[in-house]
Amino acid sequence: MLVDGYGREVSYLRLSVTDRCNLNCFYCRTGQEMEYIPHENILTYEEMVVLARAARALRVEKLRLTGGEPFARRDFLAFLGLLREQCPELDVRITTNATLLAGKAAAVKHLGIRRINISMDTLDPAKFLEITGRDMLDRVLAAIDECLGLGLRVKINVVAMKGVNDMELPAFVRLACDKPVDVRFIEFMPIGASTRWNDAATWTAREIIAQAGAMVRLTPLERHGRSGGPARLFAIEGGQGRLGVISPLSDHFCTSCNRLRVTSDGRLRTCLFSDKEYRLRPALRHPRLGIDHVVGIMRRALRTKPMGYELLELRRRAQVCDRVMSSIGG
């Protein structure tokens, strides 16, 4: 079992399969020219499977595959099959922008995936183009309907930004009423050098729930399971779906943090807000080292896993870490 210096038990690993993405979201890429990780430094799928097996040996229950955009990496579906074969007891989930998902949802379900998180910050085509730099909202909406038609559980992640998409709250609430989806608003975080985050753009979870509560009747739901995430969920009276908020800025959840992150070049990050990284790739590629050595690195890293809100408070008026979100892993 993985337990950190504060007694927090880790049961959830987020693994970035690539830092490449087919969108150019302004809050993620920050307008800078992207320098992608060289191909030879990206973990192979076989190395990622070894990492997943190491995590499972430490009683990690949930593995979330992120990017960049995971479907932008060649043979991603084959990797899902490899994971199912080698780690059948692991709860594997995917976070995607869904622009490349349509037509693949049936294969994803066949490979054992039951839950998909889809990043979608607007329901307006023009605003989607403004945020992402691409005119692809129709593809995302088609993918959502395809997943729901196949019985997949869909969560929609919305980065909450005042002056950008706060006026769309009624449309998102209607979406959660009309479809069996979780619509979850994530507070905009000051991640990455040259971030566009500022106080004026902060749309807090408290404000979102208050505004949504004036539109529909919301009932808070209890959190369940040791591998659950940080979202606070609300049932919507008469609605098919649910509404949720994730509040890393206004109401941190560091005391119950149960996750680790591994970048696509094999760097372990114990906290989203810290640039402290532990190199796993050399151990994964060394001919005489194996799972036990990787497990040892993970255990040692956990000893100094920080309370992220303390880092956030120290650097609140600037960016919290240097890596942009697409490089860290969603």
DSSP string, 74-115: TTHHHHHHHHHHH-TTSEEEEEE-STTTTTTHHHHHHTT--E
In a domain, 274, yes or no: yes
Q: Which residue has the higher pLDDT, 4 or 180?
A: 180
pLDDT value of position 298: 93
The predicted structure's pLDDT at residue 315: 59
pTM of the predicted model as reported, rounded to 2 decimal places: 0.93
Number of domains the chain is built from = 1
**21 to 73, 146, 211, 267: CA distances (angstroms):** 9, 22, 33, 19
pLDDT of the residue at 250: 87
Give the pLDDT of residue 195.
66
> Does a structural domain hold residue 8?
yes
Does 60 map to a domain? yes
**Residue 138: inside a domain:** yes
For residue 235, being part of any structural domain is answered with no
Provide the mean pLDDT of the chain: 91
pLDDT at residue number 321: 72
113 Cβ partners below 8 Å, 6+ apart?
80, 92, 93, 94, 152
Confidence band for 192, pLDDT divided at 50, 70 and 90: low
Report whether pLDDT(159) > 90: yes
pLDDT computed for residue 26 by the predictor? 84
From 44-58, 110-124, 183-197, 227-241, the region with the lowest mean pLDDT: 183-197
Range from 37-41, 227-231, 265-269 carrying the lowest mean pLDDT: 227-231
CATH number at residue 143: 3.20.20.70
Q: Which of 90-99, 190-199, 281-290 has the highest mean pLDDT?
A: 90-99
Give the tokens for residue 17: 């399969």
In a domain, 218, yes or no: no
8 A C-beta contact, residue 10 and residue 2: yes
Beta-carbon contacts of residue 167 (< 8 Å; ≥ 6 apart): none
Determine, yes or no, domain membership for 317: yes
- On whether residue 249 sits in a domain, the answer given is no
Specify the higher pLDDT residue, 230 or 139. Answer: 139
- The angle at the Cα of 28, spanning 123 to 93, to the nearest 5 degrees, equals 70
Q: What is the pLDDT of residue 317?
A: 52
Spatial CB neighbours of 64, under 8 Å, sequence gap ≥ 6: 12, 13, 14, 15, 92, 93, 94, 95, 117
Q: Above 90 in pLDDT, residue 305?
A: yes
Domain that holds residue 108: 2-155+254-328
